[in-house]
Amino acid sequence: MREHFDEIAGQSEINPMESARRSSRAVQRKRFYAEASVSEADGGHTVTLDGKPIKTPSGRTVIVPARALAEMIAAEWSAQGEFIEPLTMPLTRFANSVVQGVVDQSEAVRDDVAKYFASDLLFYRAGHPEGLVAREAAHWDPILFWAKDALGAHFMLAEGVMHVRQPDAAMAAARGALPGDPWIIAALHVITGLTGSALLALALFHGVIDPQQVWAAAHVDEDWNGEKWGVDDEVAARKAAKLVDFNAVAAALKELRQGG
């Protein structure tokens, strides 16, 4: 069973979603198990296939801290048909990546998320048209106000794409609000990568906005252009694929925060 799991979910990068897309053309593997379930383990819960726990390519047993999340991962395995489709298993890919590449370097992952505070999506604003300017402000300003009032992180804004240097104090304050738990920071890393905004990921973690609001805020410009000029099918397909990953990791984050 181990070698099958390695081939299906064996990504070691911090962000498992892009790895899965790159490997999506791999030869399909037949389902090799009858039942997926959840068992208790030291430090959490394991997902088992016919009683055997799933493992990472390095041989680590995937131990999930929240039982509800382990059950969601098991459900992905149960839902597979004759062939296993890795792209339909975002939580499996996420869990494997955390155990394989994040638990031993959570500070490095935290630093990687914090880098976004130097050039976050929310800092760079359109100068026109007025409708887009207003829409960006409606979605983005509340997050920046929250960061200033709740975190003490006062960021600077710029019009267009010209880089603006952010105050060291603001970046340090925002970084200080990032969690140290490897599973949670891994989730924020994925969400940051999918949205282009560590501030949106951080606001989601702190319960300031919900996943739907995060996704809408991350795509203000893209949605505006789609409304005005039409939606490109290829772009829409990529966005839909990313939304699947985003929703899965946002759901994982919710369970991890609740300790379920």
Q: What is the pLDDT of residues 141-189, one digit of tens each?
A: 999 999 999 999 999 999 988 899 999 999 999 999 999 999 999 999 9
| Residue 195 banded pLDDT, cuts 50, 70, 90 | very high
Mean pLDDT of the chain: 90
pLDDT value at position 58? 79
| pTM for the predicted model, two decimal places | 0.89
- Name the percent of the chain lying above pLDDT 70: 89
Q: Are residues 74 and 128 in the same domain?
A: no
> Cα 140 vs. chain centroid, distance in angstroms?
19
Q: Are residues 111 and 186 in the same domain?
A: yes
Q: Are residues 174 and 64 in the same domain?
A: no
Number of domains in the chain: 2
Q: Are residues 150 and 229 in the same domain?
A: yes
Residue 239 lies in domain = 106-258
Name the pairing type of β-strands 52-53 and 63-64.
Answer: unpaired
Q: Are residues 154 and 173 in the same domain?
A: yes
What separation in angstroms does the CA of 98 have from each of 40, 62, 134, 154? 19, 9, 38, 31
Which amino acid, residue 179? Answer: P
pLDDT value at position 22? 53
Q: Are residues 134 and 242 in the same domain?
A: yes
Q: Are residues 46 and 130 in the same domain?
A: no
Give the closest residue to 206 by CA, choosing from 189, 183, 220, 188. Answer: 188
Q: What is the CATH number of the domain that holds 114?
A: 1.10.3580.10
pLDDT surpasses 80 at 6: no
- pLDDT tens-place string over residues 22-62: 544 556 789 999 999 999 999 899 999 999 999 887 789 99
Q: Are residues 110 and 200 in the same domain?
A: yes
pLDDT value at position 180? 93
Q: Are residues 88 and 153 in the same domain?
A: no
pLDDT surpasses 50 at 13: no
| Boundary residue ending a domain (61, 82, 101) | 101
Helices (H), 43-119: 67-78, 90-101, 106-114
Q: Are residues 220 and 125 in the same domain?
A: yes
Query: CA 78, CA 43: separation in Å to the nearest integer?
Result: 24
**Kind and range of the H or E run holding 84:** strand 83-84
pLDDT value at position 168? 97
pLDDT surpasses 90 at 113: yes
Beta carbons within 10 angstroms of residue 258's beta carbon: 10
| Boundary residue ending a domain (55, 76, 101) | 101
Q: Are residues 153 and 225 in the same domain?
A: yes
Query: CA 224, CA 135: separation in Å to the nearest integer?
Result: 9
Q: Are residues 70 and 133 in the same domain?
A: no
pLDDT surpasses 70 at 10: no
Beta carbons within 10 angstroms of residue 105's beta carbon: 13
pLDDT value at position 160? 86
pLDDT value at position 259? 73
Task: Give the 3-state secondary structure of residue 45.
Answer: strand
Q: What is the CATH number of the domain that holds 37?
A: 3.30.2180.10
| Boundary residue ending a domain (101, 129, 162) | 101
